[in-house]
Amino acid sequence: MNWKSFPLGLIGLVLAAGGGIAYSLWPDQLWAVTIAELVALICLSAFLILHFETVKSFSGRRSTRMGLNSILMVLLFVAILGIVNFLASRHSIRWDVSENQNFTLAPQTYRVLRTLPREVTITVFTREKDPGYQAFKERLESYRQASTKLTVEFVDPEKQPKIAQNYGIFKTDTAIFESNGQTIRVTSPSEVELTGALIRISKDTKKRIVFVEGHSERSVEDKERNGLSLAKETLTKQGYDIGAVSLLQEAAVPDKTTVLVLAGPRRAVTTEEQDRIRAYVEKGGHVLILIDPDTQTGLDPLLAHWGLGLGPGVLVDLQDRLAQGDLTALLVRTFTEHEITQDLTSAVLFPLSRHITFDEQAGQDWDYVPLARTSANSWAETNMQGRVVSLSEQEDVKGPLSMAAALAPKKASDEGAPRPAIVVIGNSTFATNAFFNFPGNSDFFLHTVGWLAEERDLISIAPKEPALRPFTPNPTQERALLYIQVIFLPLMMFLTGLMVWRKRRRL
């Protein structure tokens, strides 16, 4: 071998390796990398030509052929690994083995991703050291695998400050959703926020939910325990436009109202207002009425027009109620087959409720479905004062009783004409800030609004943060747990220890 030409080969190898490393570190300097690789190619070619006879004689040896065979096997194995990795990167399969299924998307999220009408670009401004980086990365990877219409890009605002400046980014862990000229900003990697942003940005128009004011109703702006600010926030994330109206000042329900809500009125609703609500329903409107016991709302004529009625008293349930809670804190687990209740898996807490009645003769044009019922061991207590709460056959109404009902017309509407719908719930407290996050309450409220808004494709369990769902026993279950944990298990341990002790004494 001519050692004088050996540096050519060494220089060629160094330039080839250095060019590859330089390209990975500075991809913008493509011209320098190209020159280095060309010089490397010239040096290696010259080295091969100068030592052609040596290479020829070396390749004829038996040991060389055996070594070449090994090299070919290694190259084949590397090629197979490359193909497997290529396929896996484009058709990856993931299994979620976490305890709370932290990386499994909610059914609603999958429905949203399957029905995306157009491309959506998501740009996440975060750094690897930021607290939200990993959560954004893992969750958006699940989103991207479920839909080919999503494009996800991560940008480090420190390394690419111009892009961050163009988007007006002043804090990290911020995701920008872009589609069809619309932009939505999300600052939390939670599934609720991300899915809500997808819902909103995929709609050209928003359906409007209007809350009636003027009768001491619960306010969507009130952030205290009795307010509905959490309900408003969640509806906004679901892609709805929220508004308010006073039917005392308006001659009719505003146009483009998708759902009209009466949320727990405390004062009487005038006859003129009821006429406007009735006219709205007759034109194909959708109404949600939340009405509490011991309130003088004056809504009986309006409800009677649809065959509905408000039962007297307050519902009491000895079986389906919150353990250690008041007898009127109902924990409802009995639901009727309906689109609103089809995916409900958690009990709904209804504090202080009244029941709903239906007159088939007066409501013969309507299909009546009692959505939620009390157990057979319940009644409507008509006298909560002056005596111990107990069933009075003469005064009280024996259960099971319906506390929520849905109405839809039996006759099909003309093609293209809106179809009216009504839901009446004998409780408004379940949707307040104090109880909205209770397992089942937010689901029931969102399902109801979704059905009234004719969002059939989105009616599902709302996406939630991975959280521990506590077991909420009723009084019977609570007593059984007490007997088993406090009496039975310790007694069994004592008897087992006594038997072992007696057996050892006899040895």
Beta partners for residue 317, in sequence order: 378
pLDDT of the residue at 390? 76
> What confidence tier does 318 reach under pLDDT thresholds 50, 70, 90?
confident
pLDDT at 137 exceeding the cut of 80 = yes
DSSP string spanning 68-107?
Answer: HHHHHHHHHHHHHHHHHHHHHHHS------STT-TTPPPH
pLDDT at 367 exceeding the cut of 60 = yes
Residue 104 vs residue 168, higher pLDDT: 168
pLDDT of the residue at 290? 97
Contact (Cβ atoms closer than 8 angstroms) between residue 246 and residue 269: no
Whole-angstrom CA distances from 151 to 45, 127, 229 are 43, 19, 33
- Rounded to an integer, the average pLDDT of 479-507 is 83
Rg of the Cα trace of the chain?
Answer: 34
Residue 234 vs residue 237, higher pLDDT: 234
Classify each residue of 350-385 as buried b or exposed e, where b means 16 or more C-beta atoms within 10 Å of its C-beta: bbbbbbbbbeeeebeebebbbbbbbbebbbbbeeee
pLDDT of the residue at 171? 79
Least confident segment among 43-52, 272-281, 412-421:
43-52
List the alpha helices (DSSP H) in 222-289. 229-237, 271-282
> What confidence tier does 214 reach under pLDDT thresholds 50, 70, 90?
very high
Tokens of 405: 């009902």
Alpha carbon distance 154, 208 (integer Å):
34
Q: How many Cβ atoms from other residues are within 10 Å of residue 199's Cβ?
A: 23
> What confidence tier does 88 reach under pLDDT thresholds 50, 70, 90?
low
pLDDT of the residue at 86? 46
Residue 439 vs residue 123, higher pLDDT: 123
Alpha carbon distance 103, 175 (integer Å):
19
Longest CA–CA span in the chain (Å) reads 117
pLDDT tens track for 464-478: 544 445 555 666 676
